[in-house]
């Protein structure tokens, strides 16, 4: 009772083999998940570039269509004209964030094994109208990534 005993060498070898086995499996799984993330990132990068080009074209079209009208309306007030143009851009950005291609990209991003830039995702979800309590950790301003992945935000 209360006496420390030495484990036999065979049991120590068995335990060491099990620890090595689990370490190898863990490293294989991490490597596979990282490879999956890299391949998904490459695929998403191509889609994101085409979406950004579409957004830029839409933004330029809106600006060109309304720029002359806004400048006439605010002839001597350049700051107010700039403000109105910025409002148009933000309005268009909000519409783009609500479109299905962007929502699919956001969903794919949240399904990465190692999501980065969580602040950007958090801001995007807040712009889309989600409540802070729905997307953040309790009593915190940090994004709850696991909750966002489990829930279907998109």
In a domain, 105, yes or no: no
Query: Up-side HSE of residue 70: CA atoms within 13 Å toward CB?
Result: 17
Domain of 92, in residue numbers: 9-99
DSSP string, 24-62: HHHHHHHHHHHHHHHHHHHHHHHHHHHHHHHHHHHHHHH
Q: Please tell me whether residues 77 and 132 are part of one structural domain.
A: no
What's the pLDDT tens digit per position in 111-139?
A: 666 566 778 778 878 877 888 888 888 88
> Is 0.85 topped by the overall pTM?
no
List pLDDT tens digits, range 11-61.
888 888 888 888 888 888 888 887 877 777 777 777 777 777 877 787 777
Query: 86 with 132, same domain?
Result: no
Tell whether the model's pLDDT for residue 1 goes beyond 60: no
Spatial distance between the Cα atoms of 143 and 121, rounded to a whole number of angstroms: 8
Residues 21 and 85 in one domain: yes
Q: Are residues 121 and 79 in the same domain?
A: no
C-alpha 116: how far from its chain's center?
Answer: 7
Residue 30 and residue 70 in one domain: yes
């Amino acid at each position: 009772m209360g006496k420390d005993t030495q484990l036999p060498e065979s049991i120590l070898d068995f335990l060491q083999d099990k620890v090595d086995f689990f370490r190898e499996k863990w490293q294989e799984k991490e490597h596979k998940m990282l490879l999956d993330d890299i391949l998904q990132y490459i695929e998403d990068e191509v889609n994101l570039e085409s979406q950004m080009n579409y957004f830029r074209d839409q933004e330029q079209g809106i600006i060109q269509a309304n720029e002359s009208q806004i400048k006439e309306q605010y002839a001597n007030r350049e700051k107010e004209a700039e403000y109105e143009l910025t409002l148009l851009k933000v309005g268009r950005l909000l519409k783009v964030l609500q479109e299905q291609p962007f929502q699919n990209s956001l969903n794919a991003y949240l399904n990465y094994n190692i999501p980065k830039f969580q602040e950007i995702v958090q801001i995007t979800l807040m712009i889309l109208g989600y409540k802070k309590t729905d997307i953040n950790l309790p009593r915190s301003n940090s994004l709850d990534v696991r909750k966002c992945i489990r829930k279907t935000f998109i």
